């Protein structure tokens, strides 16, 4: 296992001049030895480029990659001692499950007794002990991907194991089982794991820390709680959560927040941080939008436009303001409260301890 330190940028075209010219904008981050990390973001945000730079399949156009303080920027994946699991299974159909799992070890001349021990342990973790003597050709797609995962995990001496959307081909009903297994395996083996996905559930349930990426930029690194409660960038607030964070344009003057025609009271500790901000964006998650009394100091009038019964809660959408300046606001309301009717005007509290404030897309309070 290894500590991985990145200080780099990457462009596929020569002499990049603008942000748009970079596949990865300058970033500096570290993955600790034995940690489990996820690179999370939409397609094209740079997460696979970053993974391939870590593995050695791609050299960064600027900067360095270090493993335990050693510069490995120009070393191959083999020289870096990396194991990588790809989106689609990479296995040998003519071999048995056991032979596939043993292949990386036999390539390194590991003693047969050690190979049998290690293959048995990984197969047990993946719940494949009863399939060790089956040929891979006859197995389902999810079983083949489990073999591919096992081949990435079978070596004890790797610097890190990298996963590039490894559950894409897995049946949705089995994904949660494999995520649980990967989490268990990480706790048992203490390997450095880096996992690429566009699925926030996969990222947040697997990783100790998640790197959220957009447009070639790593905008926040944090735990699931940090990403949900204190998104450092509006993209994180929108991307994390279902539905994502609500955003309302406002202006802070003379200790009051103006949203449309309303003046809202702001907690003192946040007001002190907003003094120099003027134009701000208020961010509040639907979970923290709550019914309030009319004209309450922290509330806005909302015209209900949609009511959805999700079973565990009501998802209610309303419109704040009128005309071109109107904004939509979503609230997750308890079934015990009952649901308003479409067309009703209700008052919802939007300012509280969970409310965030943004300037130029970055959190300031």
Domain end among 192, 210, 238: 238
Q: What's the whole-number mean pLDDT along residues 330-340?
A: 92
Per-residue model confidence (pLDDT) at position 167: 85
**Minimum mean pLDDT range among 96-100, 114-118, 202-206:** 202-206
**What are the pLDDT digits (tens) for 154-211?**
998 899 999 999 888 787 777 887 888 888 888 888 889 999 999 999 999 889 999 9
3-class SS letters over the chain: CCCEEEEEEECCCCCCCCHHHCCEEEEEEEECCCCEEEEECCCCCCHHHHHHHHHCCCCCCEEEEEECCEECCCCCHHHHCEEEECCCCCCCCCCEHHHHHHHHHHHCCCCHHHHHHHHHHHHHHCCCHHHCCCEHHHCCHHHHHHHHHHHHHCCCCCCEEEEECCCCCCCHHHHHHHHHHHHHHHHHHCCCEEEEECCHHHHHHHCCEEEEEECCEEEEEECHHHHHHCCCEHHHHHHCCCCCCEEEEEEEECCEEEECCEEECCCHHHHHHHCCCCEEEEEECHHHCEECCCCCCCEEEEEEEEEEECCCCEEEEEEECCHHHCEEEEEEECHHHCCCCCCCEEEEECCCCCCEEEECCEECC
* CB 144 within 8 Å of CB 88: no
| 233-242 residue pLDDT tens | 999 999 999 9
Task: Assess whether 225 and 265 both reside in one domain.
Answer: no
- The Cα-based distances of 77 to 55, 74, 81, 193 in angstroms read 5, 10, 6, 15
* Chain mean pLDDT for the chain: 93
Do residue 201 and residue 271 come from a single domain?
no
Q: Which of 165-179, 258-272, 335-349 has the lowest mean pLDDT?
A: 165-179
Q: Is a pLDDT exceeding 80 seen at residue 43?
A: yes
Give dist(CA 40, CA 204) in Å, integer: 9
- Look up the domain containing 62 and give its range: 4-238
- Are 215 and 255 in the same domain? no
253 pLDDT band (50/70/90 cuts)? confident
- Do both 269 and 173 map to the same domain? no
What's the order of all strands across the beta sheet hosting 256-259?
262-264, 256-259, 246-253, 279-284, 356-359, 362-363
Does residue 194 sit in the same domain as residue 276? no
- Given a contact cutoff of 8 angstroms between Cβ atoms, the answer to whether 333 and 339 are in contact is yes
Boundary-marking domain end, from 217, 238, 259: 238
Please check whether residues 190 and 312 belong to one and the same domain: no
Do 267 and 215 belong together in one domain? no
Q: What is the pLDDT of residue 87?
A: 86
Query: Phi, psi at residue 281, to the nearest 5°?
Result: -120, 125
Q: Are residues 258 and 140 in the same domain?
A: no
Residues 252, 234 within the same domain: no
- Residues 239, 243, 244, 250: is their CA dihedral positive or negative? positive
Q: Which pLDDT score is estimated for 173? A: 76
Place of tokens 């959408």: 317
Return the CATH number at 28.
3.40.50.300
Quickly tell me which residue has 């389902």 as its tokens: 140
Say what the pLDDT of residue 187 is.
Answer: 85
Cα–Cα dist 2/110, whole Å: 21
End-of-domain residue from the set 238, 263, 288: 238
Query: Could you report the per-residue pLDDT of 118-141, keeping only the tens digit for each?
Result: 999 999 988 899 999 999 998 988
Kindly report the number of other CB atoms within 10 A of residue 271's CB atom.
Answer: 16
> Do residues 128 and 147 lie in contact, with contact meaning Cβ atoms separated by under 8 Å?
yes
Q: What is the CATH number of the domain that holds 334?
A: 2.40.50.140
Number of compact structural domains in the chain: 2
Bridge-based pairing state of the strands 290-291 and 345-349? antiparallel
Q: Lowest-confidence range among 59-63, 73-77, 151-155, 296-300?
A: 151-155
Q: Do 311 and 177 belong together in one domain?
A: no
Clarify whether residues 320 and 201 are in a common domain. Answer: no
The pLDDT of residue 210 is 97
């Amino acid at each position: 296992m290894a500590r991985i330190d990145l200080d780099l940028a990457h462009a596929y075209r020569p002499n990049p001049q603008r942000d748009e010219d970079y596949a990865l904008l300058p970033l500096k981050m570290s993955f600790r030895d034995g940690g489990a990390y996820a690179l999370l973001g939409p397609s094209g945000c740079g997460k696979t480029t970053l993974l391939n730079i870590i593995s050695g399949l791609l050299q960064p156009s600027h900067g360095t990659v270090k493993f335990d303080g050693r510069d490995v920027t120009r070393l191959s994946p083999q020289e870096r001692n990396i194991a990588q699991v790809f989106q689609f299974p990479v296995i040998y159909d003519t071999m048995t499950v056991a032979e596939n799992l043993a292949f990386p070890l036999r390539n390194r001349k590991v003693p047969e007794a050690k190979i049998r021990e290690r293959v048995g342990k990984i197969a047990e973790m993946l719940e494949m002990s009863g399939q060790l003597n089956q040929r891979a050709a006859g197995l389902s797609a999810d079983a083949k991907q489990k073999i591919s995962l096992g081949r990435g995990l079978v070596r004890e001496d790797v610097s890190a194991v990298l996963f590039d959307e490894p559950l894409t081909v897995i049946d949705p009903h089995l994904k949660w089982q494999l995520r649980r297994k990967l989490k268990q395996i990480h706790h048992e083996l203490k390997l450095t794991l880096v996992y690429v996905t566009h699925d926030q559930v996969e990222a947040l349930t697997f990783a100790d820390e998640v790197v959220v990426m957009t447009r070639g930029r790593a905008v926040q690194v944090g735990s699931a709680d940090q990403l949900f409660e204190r998104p450092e960038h509006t993209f994180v607030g929108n991307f994390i959560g279902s539905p994502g964070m609500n955003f309302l344009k406002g202006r802070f003057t003379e200790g009051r927040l103006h949203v449309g025609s309303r003046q809202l009271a702001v907690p003192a500790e946040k007001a002190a941080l907003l003094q120099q901000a003027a134009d701000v964006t208020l961010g509040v998650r639907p979970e923290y939008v709550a019914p309030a009394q009319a004209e309450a100091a922290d509330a806005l009038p909302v015209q209900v436009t949609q009511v959805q019964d999700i079973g565990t809660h009501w998802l209610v959408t309303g419109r704040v303001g009128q005309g071109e300046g109107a904004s939509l606001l979503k609230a997750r309301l308890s079934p015990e409260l009952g649901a308003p009717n479409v067309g009703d005007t209700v008052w919802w509290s939007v300012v509280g301890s969970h409310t965030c404030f943004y300037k130029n897309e970055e959190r300031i309070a």
